[in-house]
Amino acid sequence: MAEIRTTCAYCGVGCGIVAKRTGERSVDIKGDPDHPANRGKLCSKGTHLGETVGLEGRLLHPMIGRRRVGWDKALDLVARRFCQAIAEHGPDSVAFYVSGQLLTEDYYVANKLMKGFIGSANIDTNSRLCMSSAVAGHLRAFGEDIVPASYDDLDVADLIVLVGSNAAWCHPIVYQRVRARCDAGAKLVVIDPRRTETAEGADLHLAIRPGSDVALMNGLLTHCRAEGLLDGAYLERSVAVPDRFWDTVSEGSDLWSVARACDVPAADLRRFYELFACHPRTVTLFSQGINQSLRGTDQVNAILNLHLATGRIGKPGAAPFSITGQPNAMGGREVGGLASSLAAHMDFAPENRANVQRFWGAPTIAAKPGLKAVDLFRAVGEGRIKALWIMATNPAVSMPDAGAVRDALARCPFVVVSDVISDTDTSPFAHVRLPAAAWGEKDGTVTNSERRISRQRALFTLPGEARPDWWIVNEVARRMGWADAFAYSRPADIFREHARLSAYRNGGARLFDLSGHVAIGNDAYDALAPFRWGGEALADGVYPTSDGRARLVPVQQVSLTAPLSKWPLTLNTGRYRDQWHTMSRTGLSPKLARHREEPLVEVHPQDAVAFGLRDGGLARVSTPQGASLFRVEFASGQRLGEIFTPIHWTDRQSSGGRTGLLPRALADPHSGQPGFKSTPAAVAAVTPAWRGFLISAEAMPLPECLWATRVAVPRGVLFELAGDGDPHAIEAALPKGERMEVSDRARGARRVAVLREGRLAAMLLVTESGLLPRREWLIDQLGQAVAGPALLAGAPPGPREDAGATVCLCFDVGMNTLIAAIARQRLTTVEAVGAALSAGTNCGSCRPSIRRILEESRNAANG
Ligand SMILES: Nc1nc2c(c(=O)[nH]1)N[C@H]1C(S)=C(S)[C@@H](COP(=O)(O)OP(=O)(O)OC[C@H]3O[C@@H](n4cnc5c(=O)[nH]c(N)nc54)[C@H](O)[C@@H]3O)O[C@H]1N2
Ligand SMILES: Nc1nc2c(c(=O)[nH]1)N[C@H]1C(S)=C(S)[C@@H](COP(=O)(O)OP(=O)(O)OC[C@H]3O[C@@H](n4cnc5c(=O)[nH]c(N)nc54)[C@H](O)[C@@H]3O)O[C@H]1N2
Ligand code: SF4
Ligand SMILES: [Mo]
């Protein structure tokens, strides 16, 4: 079969893929050597995309309630209910909540329908939770939402600063590029309260107090001014400096005050200042540690101020670089899919409204910004939203105070959910569920962090009755009475219109301008090669503001309050290397599950002891909003007083690990972005009466007990379990078949194997006080004919080697294998490990781990 070039489904790095179908629903995935974003490389998630394209769990038909219906019926109902709400309560009584995982074409149609035809700006997106502080910061500084950087800058930078970014896990291919540059001599500074794998590879790690980034950046800026490092000519020509700017930023910005505010050694701070001083080619990459804060926009501007004042912008190797999270976070910003913008990088100024309305031939046009995500769900809860359409996002998990979001959804009179998955945590609240085309089926464009527009192309035919999101919205718009304005028959039609709008009465006012593509033909669109809009943005030092100058924004560090006695800890939340958000896709991959099988709460060992936690035990994390159970991991990389939990686990996967329930629904005043990274919290040990695990060759619902987490394994599923009640209750959930069992009353242990035609179909193992056998061997026996005694013993007869937790997914190399080989073969470098074991030589995602294991082995050998 032919090779098809497309773009990865996951992060904003936007890696190109060469896909080759190998069957009806199977595909061989390789990095595209010609794509400028990745030049052939892929991380662990991209590499294993092929494991996630099956139809398991897919929503394949429109549903009204629990009833399967035809498309006409579903679309008619959606159109009717939206029209009804608008007629009875006005356009602001309806809303769309969309996603950076939509394609640009999907996004464009949804935005046009809401802002031009319904006449409200109540369309917001999960990018509000993700990039909106960066957007607001760019607008304040540059006058337009421009990312003045490209990945090429990384190749020539001499200093790379990563602030609030765990790029080794979240943007692995960008991180590999950073490493390659460091190998050639560039310096890397990581600013993150946690010692992440990203931080472990740095020349300098500043483990600052969370929320103290403004103090740090203002301190550095003040230092630069004192040392004569400002770019006077650039400031003169290209930057407007408001009155009192320097007074504001220099207050409390002496070295000692900054060291105290950030809680880092003054010597480390001085080292950072020195590195900055002697490397003008500086790229500062920032991400959620900056954006997801109640002061996110000020934190963004503190970074932009530094680059503007030192002239480190618009030059090769010098840039502030907001790296985006989702595959099409940028495309959404380009079409104007945030409630705070109108369309095509235009705001709600009267002339913009008039132009966009005229261009669309629209009956009306939104007069003012709409509700931002947090306010939107508050309005839903207060009954002000009568009809809500959620597309490609899972707010019952990912919004702050997700418990309140669920209550709000339960109260909303009409909820539509377009998703690719049948059962998500949000879907039970839907009156209508619409089956969307998934990655590998949809066709259109996405824009990555560096403004590069690439095609996503279909690899498979549409399964069941799934349809692309643009088609679904288009059909509803037609049924609402606007058939002429929504007459698209293919994504290329939409892309052309989007390009025309970007150029419409632009005349250089906006850098976002796709005028070169307004006449693109269908074939040319199909063959479109990745391209970057805006060229070397801002290279001429002229900004899209009224006077052509950028703005320094006076920002000040707010004082950080000491924790309250009831909530003595600060909860930080974020991502794991091998899971994507709410796991609807990555959760299907046994390989990806192996990096972190369960949701952990990472706690500094000293705190853990103080709170009576046990490493590997369970703990309840609670905040004023809610509580959830997590598996405890002692982590010396945590700062004292701070804990970290992952965002990925949902009700589908686990009875606990529900991070979304914990953060407050509070947001930055400028951007509306929630402060996900700092929530006052408490933690308490939970000691279950028994623990165990269950493996099954067929899909099963989550067993009901205190702790149950689902883990994808080869040819089946594994559940980790713990409980208080009678473990026999779990046995009722086991599939039918011939049973073999043993009990050991002294240890409160019980093992039940279910066989079908002599082959292992499922097995449950529980114990009150004894040990449990290793899972791997038993998992390998699923579907196999095995001797009963070995099964019940949980191990094959005879000795065997234990490879340990998998480090390298691509070549299946375990921790113990690595440690043994390092010692035996005296391996000292990541390259040597690669040569000996192949580990780390494919996707490279595990290279930071291998580096750490090498270091630990070295320390162990020396000490
Ligand atoms: N594997 C994986 N990759 C992903 C995703 C995924 O789900 N899984 N999601 C994608 C998406 S949508 C996004 S938005 C990106 C996010 O990518 P990142 O922003 O890199 O990831 P996070 O884990 O959310 O948080 C980054 C870091 O911010 C730090 N931090 C917390 N508070 C502060 C602070 O006050 N100051 C500073 N300087 N740092 C702080 C945290 O400790 C954390 O290590 O990842 C993208 N890539
Ligand atoms: N506590 C805490 N919360 C956070 C964050 C954090 O760091 N901490 N990070 C925030 C950030 S940055 C983000 S981006 C969000 C992400 O949060 P969500 O957007 O809620 O996460 P996803 O799991 O990616 O949800 C995407 C949904 O869309 C579906 N889907 C996938 N492709 C398509 C498609 O083509 N069409 C349609 N219609 N559906 C599709 C998937 O099945 C899935 O159900 O979480 C935010 N929430
Ligand atoms: S870095 Fe990984 S997840 Fe992100 S686009 Fe590239 S392959 Fe996909
Ligand atoms: Mo994100």
Asked if residue 734 is part of any domain, the answer here is yes
For ligand 3, mutation pick of 10, 41, 174, 581 (most atoms within 8 Å of CB):
10
Q: Atom 26, ligand 2: which residue's CA is nearest? A: 393
Query: Are both 443 and 467 inside the same structural domain?
Result: yes
Please state, in angstroms and as integers, the Cα–Cα distance from residue 468 to each residue in 107, 124, 440, following that order.
11, 20, 11
Residues 407, 275 within the same domain: no
Q: Are residues 402 and 360 both part of a single domain?
A: yes
Predicted confidence at residue 190, as pLDDT, reads: 98
* Residue 581 beta carbon below 6 angstroms from any ligand 3 atom: no
Q: Which of 656, 686, 716 is the last residue of a domain?
A: 686
Please give the mean pLDDT across all residues of the chain.
95
pLDDT, position 473: 98
Residue 631 near residue 646 (C-beta atoms within 8 A): no
63 within 8 A of 464, measured Cβ to Cβ: no
**pLDDT of residue 799 exceeding 70:** no
Residue 89 has pLDDT above 80, yes or no: yes
**545: in domain:** no
The confidence score (pLDDT) of residue 212 equals 98
Residue 20: which CATH number? 3.30.200.210
Domain presence at residue 560: no
**pLDDT score of 561:** 82
Q: Does the structure show a pLDDT above 90 at 35?
A: yes
* Residues 131-185: tens digit of each pLDDT: 999 999 999 999 999 999 999 999 999 999 999 999 999 999 999 999 999 999 9
Residue 380 and residue 314 share a domain: no
Residue type, 162: L
Q: What pLDDT, on a 0 to 100 scale, did the predictor assign at position 797? A: 74
For 355-372, what is each residue's pLDDT tens digit? 999 999 999 999 999 999
Ligand 4 center to residue 336 CA distance, Å? 17
pLDDT tens, position by position, 542-566 = 999 999 999 999 999 999 888 888 9
pLDDT of residue 863: 65
- Res. 730: pLDDT tops 70: yes
* CATH number of the domain bearing residue 857: 1.10.10.1100
Task: Tell me the average pLDDT across 321-332.
Answer: 97
Instruction: Decide which of 322, 340, 355 is a domain's last residue.
Output: 322
State the residue range of the domain holding 277. 132-322
Other C-beta atoms lying within 10 Å of the C-beta of residue 616: 11
Q: Which atom of ligand 1 is nearest to the CA of 209?
A: 35
Given a cut of 80, whether residue 798 has pLDDT beyond it is no
| Token pair 């380009």: residue | 334
**Ligand 1 center from residue 286 Cα (angstroms):** 9
- Edge-to-edge strands, sheet with 444-447: 444-447, 452-456, 531-532
**More confident call, 791 vs 12:** 12
pLDDT of residue 674 exceeding 80: yes
- The binding-site residues of ligand 1, defined as CB within 6 angstroms of any ligand atom, are 11, 130, 163-167, 169-170, 191-194, 196, 210-211, 213, 287-289, 325-326, 572, 574-575, 577, 579-581, 677
Domain identity same for 449 and 589: no
Write down the pLDDT at residue 254: 97
Band (800; pLDDT cuts 50, 70, 90): low
381 and 365 in a common domain: yes
Query: Can you give the pLDDT at residue 560?
Result: 87
Are residues 638 and 704 located together in one domain of the fold? no
Distance in Å, CA 309 to ligand 3 centroid: 33
Give residue ranges with CB within 6 A of ligand 2.
99, 101, 126, 129-130, 288, 292, 325-326, 391-394, 397-398, 418-421, 424, 436, 438, 442, 469, 573-574, 581-582, 584, 647, 659-660, 663, 676
User: Hey, what's the torsion of the CAs at 514, 516, 521, 523, to 10 degrees?
Assistant: -90
439 in ligand 3 pocket by Cβ < 6 Å?
no
* pLDDT at residue 72 tops 80: yes
Which atom of ligand 1 lies nearest, measured to the CA of 287?
19
pLDDT for 384-439, tens place per residue? 999 999 999 999 999 999 999 999 999 999 999 999 999 999 999 999 999 999 99
Residue 425 DSSP SS3: coil
Question: How far apart are the C-alpha atoms of 369 and 190, rounded to whole Å?
Answer: 36
Kindly state whether residues 383 and 459 are assigned to the same domain: yes
Same domain, 659 and 777: no
- Distance of alpha carbon 659 from alpha carbon 687, whole angstroms: 20
Q: What are phi and psi of 755, to 5 degrees?
A: -115, 145
Alpha-carbon distance of 398 to 326, in angstroms, equals: 14
Is residue 35 a part of any domain in this protein?
yes
Top pLDDT among 1 and 260 is at: 260
The CATH code of the domain that includes 198 is 3.40.228.10
Structural domain includes residue 551: no
In a domain, 483, yes or no: yes
Rounded CA-CA distance 372/123 in Å is: 8
**Inter-helix orientation angle 71-89/469-479, to 10°:** 60
Residue 206, pLDDT above cutoff 70: yes
- The band of 726, judged by pLDDT with boundaries at 50, 70 and 90, is confident
What's 578's domain CATH number?
Answer: 2.40.40.20
Distance 43 CA to ligand 3 centre (A): 6
How far does the centroid of ligand 4 lie from the alpha carbon of residue 66, in Å?
31
Q: What's the gap in Å between 40 CA and the centre of ligand 2?
A: 26
Question: Closest Cα to atom 31, ligand 1: which residue?
Answer: 289
Please report, for the domain that includes residue 508, its CATH number. Answer: 3.40.50.740
**pLDDT tens-digit map of 752-782:** 999 999 999 999 999 998 889 889 899 999 9
Both 361 and 430 in one domain: the answer is yes
Q: Is 147 part of a structural domain of the chain?
A: yes
DSSP state, 640? T
Instruction: Give the pLDDT score at 109.
Output: 98
CA atoms of 820 and 653, how far apart (whole Å)? 34
pLDDT surpasses 70 at 208: yes
Say yes or no: CB of residue 13 within 6 Å of ligand 3.
Answer: yes
What is the per-residue pLDDT across 687-702, written as a single tens digit (0 to 9) for each? 999 999 999 999 999 9
State whether 276 and 195 are in the same domain. yes
- Residue 493: pLDDT over 90: yes
pLDDT per position as a tens digit, 814-825: 888 999 999 999
Per the structure, the count of domains in the chain is 6
Domain boundary, last residue among 793, 826, 841: 793
Per-residue pLDDT tens digits for 554-610: 999 999 888 888 999 999 999 999 999 999 888 888 988 888 999 999 999 999 999
Q: Cα(546)–Cα(213) distance, rounded to whole angstroms? A: 30
Answer yes or no: do 368 and 392 share one domain. yes
Q: Ligand 4 center to residue 651 CA distance, Å?
A: 20
Ligand 3 contact, 844 CB (< 6 A) = no
Answer whether residue 84 is part of any domain.
yes
Q: Looking at ligand 3, which atom is closest to the CA of residue 10?
A: 3
User: How far apart (Å, rounded) are the C-alpha atoms in residues 637 and 617?
Assistant: 19
